[in-house]
Amino acid sequence: MSISSDEVNFLVYRYLQESGFSHSAFTFGIESHISQSNINGALVPPAALISIIQKGLQYVEAEVSINEDGTLFDGRPIESLSLIDAVMPDVVQTRQQAYRDKLAQQQAAAAATSTAATTTIIWDAHTGEAKQQFPFHSAPALDVDWQSNNTFASCSTDMCIHVCKLGQDRPIKTFQGHTNEVNAIKWDPTGNLLASCSDDMTLKIWSMKQDNCVHDLQAHNKEIYTIKWSPTGPGTNNPNANLMLASASFDSTVRLWDVDRGICIHTLTKHQEPVYSVAFSPDGRYLASGSFDKCVHIWNTQTGALVHSYRGTGGIFEVCWNAAGDKVGASASDGSVCVLDLRK
């Protein structure tokens, strides 16, 4: 996600005030024109700058250390990163990771990484060797998602989505239509539709059968950070349930979409700050959402009703379900991890 210079200045200004550096805060406020910004200070929590820095460090450490299946990358966790380590290009390139990098494992024992550079790299997960590089984006790649054993999609701050196939030296499809950076992409359970979300506040649905998007879904009024398909409909263990798509936004809402009809069926509005993560239960009946307001909410996907709520000690930036669908895990910006037992 992007952050403006005005927002950075305000966070620094608030940090100086909270730390007792009143003279420095006053001088910095004058020189950076804080009074002319349109930022509502009442919405910025105390210690926001420290929380954001801590979250960034923890996210980088997690991305470097942990595979999507929960196992440790290369069998061991990394040492704690310093702030300097986290932003040094050589560290990032050596580990082939960066902030908001995604790791997607291929069934045929390969992995793809999107890097802070413009290249997506396919790795042999057993040997650790790079199998093929796809240098097609003109700006940092932010997410990758596999469609099949040999085909994947990648998105970037260049506003483009490329669909690539192992062995091919050019993208087999390129989707264009977003007007700001594309934050996340996800194939539906059948691999026929690709969803994308962007800082342009839109959610788009694409098909390999056409160049233009199938649906251009517009309802959020701030950046959309992430999306998730429900484990329902054709190609899932719940084939008789309707397929849905969830979107989480910096406007503090989560929306549930009927993709077949291209309409929003529920707007979930209990969060007070940006929502960073959503996850469907294995049967698709419930949705967990995590926000920087420190809350994890559990929603009924059929009615949109809030059925459980938990408040932690730090901003929530990841939620996930266990295989049985009776527990939800959540990680927070203060370094804590909680497990919610929904049977109680």
22-35 pLDDT tens trace = 888 888 888 888 87
One domain for residues 249 and 168: yes
Look at residue 192 in the predicted model and tell me its pLDDT.
Answer: 96
Residue 188 belongs to a domain: yes
Write out the residue range of the structural domain in which residue 29 sits: 5-54
Look at residue 127 in the predicted model and tell me its pLDDT.
Answer: 80
Look at residue 17 in the predicted model and tell me its pLDDT.
Answer: 83
Residue 97 belongs to a domain: no
One domain for residues 36 and 145: no
Q: Is the dihedral of CA 225, 114, 231, 229 positive or negative?
A: positive
Contacts of 8 (CB under 8 A, 6+ apart): none
One domain for residues 156 and 42: no
Look at residue 29 in the predicted model and tell me its pLDDT.
Answer: 81
Residue 113 belongs to a domain: no
Look at residue 286 in the predicted model and tell me its pLDDT.
Answer: 98
Look at residue 98 in the predicted model and tell me its pLDDT.
Answer: 39
One domain for residues 168 and 50: no
Residue 67 belongs to a domain: no
Look at residue 242 in the predicted model and tell me its pLDDT.
Answer: 94
Domain-ending residue, one of 54, 69, 90: 54
One domain for residues 163 and 283: yes
| Residues 283, 83: Cα–Cα separation, whole Å | 40
Residue 267 belongs to a domain: yes
Look at residue 59 in the predicted model and tell me its pLDDT.
Answer: 63
Query: pTM score, two decimals?
Result: 0.69
Look at residue 47 in the predicted model and tell me its pLDDT.
Answer: 78
> Is residue 106 within 8 Å of residue 67, measured between CB atoms?
no
Structure tokens at 41: 């200070």
Look at residue 178 in the predicted model and tell me its pLDDT.
Answer: 97
Residue 39 belongs to a domain: yes
- What is the CATH number for 240? 2.130.10.10
- What is the CATH number for 28? 1.20.960.30
Residue 33 belongs to a domain: yes
Q: What is the pLDDT of residues 252-297, one digit of tens each?
A: 999 999 999 999 999 999 999 999 999 999 999 999 999 999 999 9
Residue 42 belongs to a domain: yes
User: How many separate domains does the chain show?
Assistant: 2
One domain for residues 186 and 289: yes
Residues of the chain with pLDDT under 70: 1-2, 54, 56-117
